[in-house]
Amino acid sequence: MYKTAAETANDLNMPLHQIVRYIHEGRIRAVHDGESYLINSAQFDTYHEQLERIKEEIEIWKSTPIPPDIDIKDED
């Protein structure tokens, strides 16, 4: 399914000019039909899956306690 750049910006909660800039930079693939850019919405499914996985990994990293350093010597 294809969406316009405006619909994509609305779905991603991003400004339209940023989506258009990403299209021009090649970060988002799009087809120009003469009037507007059409973006395949399936390419963002992978993006959202990766984003969720990264968020989970960050939460795991934050909740992992720091192991005690075996090289620390007590000076007392």
**Of the candidates 50, 37, 33, which has an alpha carbon nearest to the alpha carbon of residue 9?**
37
- Report the pLDDT value the prediction gives residue 62, as an integer from 0 to 100: 93
Residue 75's pLDDT is what? 67
Find out whether 10 and 16 touch, Cβ atoms under 8 Å: no
Question: What pLDDT does residue 63 have?
Answer: 93
Please, what is the angle between helix 5-12 and helix 43-63, to 10°? 20
Which residues does the chain have with pLDDT short of 50? none
Distance CA 12, CA 53 (A): 17
Neighbours of 35 (CB within 10 A): 7
Query: Phi/psi of residue 9, each to 5°?
Result: -60, -40
Give the pLDDT of residue 14: 87
Task: Please tell me the pTM assigned to this model.
Answer: 0.60
